[in-house]
Chain A
Amino acid sequence: MTDLHLWLIPLVPLAGFLVNGLLGRKFPRALVTTVALIAALVPFIQVVSIAAKFGSLTLPHVETIGTWIRAGAFHADFSFQLDQLTLVMLCVVTGVGFIIHIYSAGYMAEEEGYWRFFAYMNLFLFFMLTLVLAENFLVMFIGWEGVGLASYLLIGFYYTKDSAARAGKKAFVVNRIGDFGFLLAMFLLIAHFGTVSFSEVFTQIAAHPAWQGGFLTAIALFLVLGATGKSAQIPLYVWLPDAMEGPTPVSALIHAATMVTAGVYMIARTHVIFDRSPYALAVVAIIGTATAFFAATIGIAQTDIKRVLAYSTISQLGYMFLACGVAAYTAGIFHLVTHAFFKALLFLAAGSVIHALSGEQDMRVMGGLRKKIPVTFWTMTAAVFAISGAPPLAGFVSKDEILYQAFITPGPGKILWAFGLLTAGLTSFYMFRLWYMTFFGESRAVEKDLEEHGAAVHARRDTKLTLEAEHHAHPVHESPGLMIWPLIILAILSVIGGWMGWPEGLGGGNWFAHWLSPVFAASSSTSPAGSNQLEFLLACVSTLVAAAGWFAAHLMYYKDPAIPERAAGKIRSVYSLVKNKYWVDEIYGAVVVAPVFFIARYLLNVLIDRGVIDGGTYAAGATAQGFGALVARIQSGNIRSYAGWLALFAALLLAASHFGWTAHFWVH
């Protein structure tokens, strides 16, 4: 078997992290950049070289470095696995990751803590690649936890800013809830299968066709809990919008293209378990559909450009969950790939807009940027059309594949499809709203900037670190080449990226699905048959819906910008409900966070910690002290009193022994 040195793929970014993390503070910026970019480029080159000789490999290709844990019959190894699914993820992570690294070199050029940023980025790549390459649940869990850590570090990159520090904490804590599910799933796996290796678990399941539901449902549901945390799905999606406090390249890499798709990848990877549990699959589908629709409605009313994109990400991840839930894993992975292209592009372009406006993120004070930053405009246009589902761009192909797969699923598939279609319309609407508000009309920067947002921007300048907002004030300008070229590459990918999976219904070969099918061989037999005509029809319908969304946005934000105000005034309660994100944060705050704080503060802190533990130790100390003070009086310094005590107790001992009270001292 050929040795591909898979372990090198994650280890090179780790080396980059160690070099920059330990020594970067003293390095000049050019050296930091070089180290970080090489550490991101080498894995990409390796992945490409592996892809080149992929056909000659026997799949799945497993490489074990050594044993990690051995306890009785149970053992967990440091082993990596390569198959089609892994290769897809590797290409996305290293490819998009490297592009975003280049972009970051331009975007972060003037920031304090430049070395820290790149060290964390490389650390993220290490953990993400570990997660993707893992051959067992335990190694996957290393990556799973590690990307959470890197995410936390990068969200809180501007750690002197209170909101950023709190957003990082929120992301970490919410992710921990999901990780808890993952852990429980792993324990159940060990209990039932005695192994954590993917291949061994799947082999055992395949050998027992009678296993349906039951403990497999339990395992699958715990895995879903983990996935909802990492992939920002209901009920654990709340951390992702706040994660936008991090620098924009971080949002693009971690919170759009790679880390948040880990949940989808995990479900696809463990699909053998899910295939045996219709309930778990239904849960995945319902969560995905609900999240997609719910997040899209919130996205409509957001005014922060990055937050719109954050809700859009949640919504698109919902699509991927929906695809997994109807056992159309290839469609989910396909959407994962195309989404990585266009959502990374959207974030990077948004970053370019923010860069051009000296740190402004509020769309209400943008406008008219089309002519001023043309490259950003055109690349973003490609991304907007792609995500909205305009044929023949990437988003159209992958989204329609999901909707088609949902539609042909028996049972509630039509309902899922209907909500998915509605979400597609909403997606189109809020993306074009963003597009119009940012690039068209008159610039609204002057009057509003001074009123409300300017104060916030200026307030942030007091903090010690250089914040994103603190680029020295300058006229609106196009971004440097380091930022432009990644945009262009991603724009090209957003346009043509979907062609590799062009559906059969539209005259294509759906090469991507066929190529990926060996991984999902077990579940392909269950997928119901559709027809090419139906697929074509559905594609037309969703294209029309997307066009309707565009038309509505065009009407409301281009033709007559007064409409949104009037519409919001008419349905004030609904508008404020959506605008305030359904008060989910507040509800969680009241239902979950407040009781936890209450328990922590009063029950655990006041009662247990200060009452029982502190009180107990203080009482023990006081008792010892009091008793000591009492008996210390014996030590008078008067020798004759000492002798008296000695004589007295010697006499007592004698008397006691005389009456036999000391008999038990004798050892027989």
Chain B
Amino acid sequence: MVPIAYYLVLSGILFSIGVAAFLIKRNIITVFMSIELMLNAVNLTFVAFSRYWSQAQYRLNPTNYLQVNGQIFVFFVMVVAAAEAAVGLAIIIAIFRARNTLNVDQIDLMKL
């Protein structure tokens, strides 16, 4: 069995890549993709912990039900991410039409 730490480290690496890409990249599509990457890193953590927790409970007492809370959460995150992708891409298209650029540094309208 693969130890839980492996999953977590992988998740951490993916999340860090996402954060770094979010901070570094200027193209709004790439930034958007890095957000998806972070969400999926979190999803990976959720399922890893869910599995780990279920096994621990089972070992304690075989009659315990399977613990799937973490996996259910992953579905929620996926649904939200899909909705976000739909809305976000629509916004990106609207911005591109209005400003003719996808560079986030040039879309700094929300400041004092």
A residues bordering B, Cβ < 8 Å?
632, 635-640, 643-644, 647
Contacts and interface: CB of A to CB of B under 8 A. Distances in A.
Q: Which 5 pairs, one residue from A and one from B, show the smallest C-beta to C-beta distance?
A: A637-B111, A637-B108, A638-B108, A637-B110, A643-B22
A639 B22 CA distance: 9
Contact of A643 (B23, B107, B110): B23
A647 B108 CA distance: 19
Interface in B98-112: 104-105, 107-112
Given A635-B110, A640-B23, A640-B104, 17 more contacts: A632-B112, A635-B111, A635-B112, A636-B111, A637-B108, A637-B109, A638-B105, A638-B111, A639-B104, A640-B22, A640-B31, A640-B105, A643-B19, A643-B22, A643-B23, A644-B23, A647-B19
A636 B19 CA distance: 19
27 contacts: A632-B112, A635-B110, A635-B111, A635-B112, A636-B108, A636-B111, A637-B108, A637-B109, A637-B110, A637-B111, A638-B104, A638-B105, A638-B108, A639-B31, A639-B104, A639-B107, A639-B108, A640-B22, A640-B23, A640-B104, A640-B105, A643-B19, A643-B22, A643-B23, A644-B23, A647-B19, A647-B23
B2 to A, nearest CB: 24
Nearest to A629: B112
Nearest to A632: B112
B112 to A, nearest CB: 6
A637 B23 CA distance: 14
Interface of B: 19, 22-23, 31, 104-105, 107-112
Contacts of B107: 639
A643 B35 CA distance: 11
Contacts of A647: 19, 23
A637 B19 CA distance: 19
Nearest to B16: A647
Contacts of B104: 638-640
A647 B23 CA distance: 9
Contacts of A636: 108, 111
Contacts of B23: 640, 643-644, 647
A638 to B, nearest CB: 5
A434 B55 CA distance: 117
Contacts of B19: 643, 647
A638 B23 CA distance: 11
Contacts of A639: 31, 104, 107-108
A265 B107 CA distance: 86
Nearest to A636: B111
Contacts of B108: 636-639
A228 to B, nearest CB: 66
A637 B108 CA distance: 4
Nearest to B20: A647
Contacts of B31: 639-640
A644 B108 CA distance: 15
Contacts of B105: 638, 640
A643 B26 CA distance: 13
Contacts of A638: 104-105, 108, 111
Nearest to A644: B23
A647 B104 CA distance: 18
A102 B70 CA distance: 96
A640 B27 CA distance: 11
Contacts of A640: 22-23, 31, 104-105
A636 to B, nearest CB: 5
Contacts of B109: 637
Residue among A632, A643, A644 with the highest chain B CB neighbour number at 10 A: A643
Contacts of A635: 110-112
A647 B31 CA distance: 15
A639 B109 CA distance: 10
Nearest to A650: B19
B40 to A, nearest CB: 18
A643 B23 CA distance: 7
A139 to B, nearest CB: 64
